Amino acid sequence: MKRKYEFDEEIAECPLCNEFLCPPIHQCKNGHVACAGCCEKLKSKECPTCRAKPFAHSRNLGLEKMIESLQSACVHAPYGCTEVVKLKKEKHVEDACDYRQFKCPVPACSYTGPKREVPEHFRTLHNASVYRDPSGIRTRKFHIQYWKLNDRPHIVFVLDTELFVAHIHEVNNKCDLRFIMFACSSFGNDSLKYNIQITVKSKEGVSSTSKLDNALAFNNQTTGNIWEKDNLIILPNVDPTSELTLTLTLL
């Protein structure tokens, strides 16, 4: 029977920045190690510990192999995830874990729950339309035809590992002109970009198209304002009976 060994976590920390050591791990000629980021900053400079130069003298392949073999429970294990995560995390990315906890961005809603339950929460509690990847081949593109606004203020898109929501806000100004604004947001992704095009067809048969390209979807977990000026698409004079065709592409 194989013996189990305990591992001192400090051994796997970079002594310079205290972050977890990830390969490639370099060392000076006396064996003092540092993470790849610190080595890049030091480059040909001397070792901060023993002054040996250059610091990034060679790779510590033994320590790399040991660290790559380390396993731990997913950080979302307290919420039900049973995955055992290796350092490289090829098969299980914790940011995309179905058990990752998200708070609902709808004002006055106090719901917090796992990622996999968020679409159903929006559908049942906020009367949202929920759309999933129609192709099954991860094209990251949706095409919704003949969709009516009615009383649904949110559209939730479930695509690959992303949750993406379009908030629909109606504005009536002093001139009695009716505007519909779309503000798109992501759940926990600070770098998600998208293209969106919406064609509105009135009951009289008149069509108009609005689009927004290379827009950055704000992270609704870190901001309290869902009406950010940089990711709004405005549709003027939309009637509740108007038919909408929406094409959304995540970049």
CA angle 233, 239, 243 (to 5 degrees): 75
If asked whether residues 47 and 138 sit together in one domain, one would say no
If asked whether residues 51 and 138 sit together in one domain, one would say no
Question: What is residue 121's predicted lDDT score, i.e. its pLDDT?
Answer: 93
For residues 197 and 144, give the distance between their C-alpha atoms in angstroms, rounded to a whole number.
11
Single pTM value for the model: 0.64
Question: What is residue 112's predicted lDDT score, i.e. its pLDDT?
Answer: 92
Whether 3 has a pLDDT exceeding 90, the answer reads no
If asked whether residues 139 and 235 sit together in one domain, one would say yes
If asked whether residues 133 and 224 sit together in one domain, one would say yes
Whether 14 has a pLDDT exceeding 70, the answer reads yes
Count of domains forming the chain: 2
Q: How many other CB atoms are there within 10 angstroms of residue 4's CB atom?
A: 5
If asked whether residues 204 and 129 sit together in one domain, one would say yes
If asked whether residues 111 and 204 sit together in one domain, one would say yes
If asked whether residues 115 and 167 sit together in one domain, one would say yes
CATH number at residue 129: 2.60.210
Q: Which domain holds residue 207?
A: 101-250
For residues 178 and 170, give the distance between their C-alpha atoms in angstroms, rounded to a whole number.
7
Does 77 reside within a domain?
no
Does 118 reside within a domain?
yes
Span of 56-60, 116-120, 165-169, 221-225 with lowest mean pLDDT: 221-225
Question: What is residue 7's predicted lDDT score, i.e. its pLDDT?
Answer: 63
Q: How many other CB atoms are there within 10 angstroms of residue 223's CB atom?
A: 11
For residues 90 and 105, give the distance between their C-alpha atoms in angstroms, rounded to a whole number.
30
47-60 pLDDT, tens digit per residue, is: 888 888 877 778 88
CA angle 206, 248, 105 (to 5 degrees): 110
